[in-house]
Structures are given as C-alpha cells and as structure tokens.
Amino acid sequence: MVDLTQTQVAYPPEFLSDVDKFIHLANEMAKNKDIGEVSAAILFAAGRYNSFNFLAKGHTQKDQAEAIAFYSQEYRKAFESNLNGAVGPVMGRPDKTSQGLAPLP
C-alpha cells in the first residue's frame, strides 16, 4: 500500500482545472448555504452523474455490484488522498477572509 502522506500524485493539468471548477462552484454556493449542505449536494450530484454515465454506456443490473464497488473505491481513494495532501493542501491557515471555503490554486 502506498503511503499517501509522503507521495504527491500527478494529475493532468486539464483534470485539475476541471476539479477546480467544481470547487469554485461549491465555494460560491457555500457563501449562502451551510457548507455541509453543499458537500452533500456535491456527493449526491457525483452519484447521480456517475449513475447516468454507467447506464448511458449500456451497463445493466448485473453490472451494478461491480460498478458500486468501483465508484466507492475511487471516492475513498480521492477522499483519503486529499485528506493526506497528495495533490496539495486541502486547507490553508484559517484567516478572516477564508470563510471556511476550499482553496483554489
């Protein structure tokens, strides 16, 4: 198993740019809503979009268990690697301007 606390993960710049767009939207939403509600909405939206993607590719009910395992594993890896700073810091030092929002590069 890789120790993500000591490993920087290299993602293509285009991918990270797309991720930053979601973070920016979430930060905008969090200005007027509870951050927990925004977090729940992002998680639900990811599940909804990935379900659509799964079905649009012609997968059937017999493939569902494998898809659930795959997407669950991918979320867990993303969550853990972000907690461990594999891509960069998730949170900077709190100050009066941060308002608890996720940082963008």
- Cβ pair 83, 90 in contact under 8 A: yes
Residues 37-59 have pLDDT tens digits of 999 999 999 999 999 999 999 99
**Contact of 51 with 63, CB cutoff 8 Å:** no
Helix (H, G, I), strand (E, B) or coil at 84: coil
Amino acid at 50: N
Q: How far apart are CA 64 and CA 39, in angstroms?
A: 25
pLDDT digits (tens, 9 = 90+) for 74-104: 999 999 988 888 776 666 544 444 555 566 5
- CA dist., res. 70 & res. 13, Å (int): 24
What is the predicted pLDDT for the residue at 81? Answer: 87
Asked if 101 contacts 30 with a C-beta cutoff of 8 angstroms, the reply is: yes
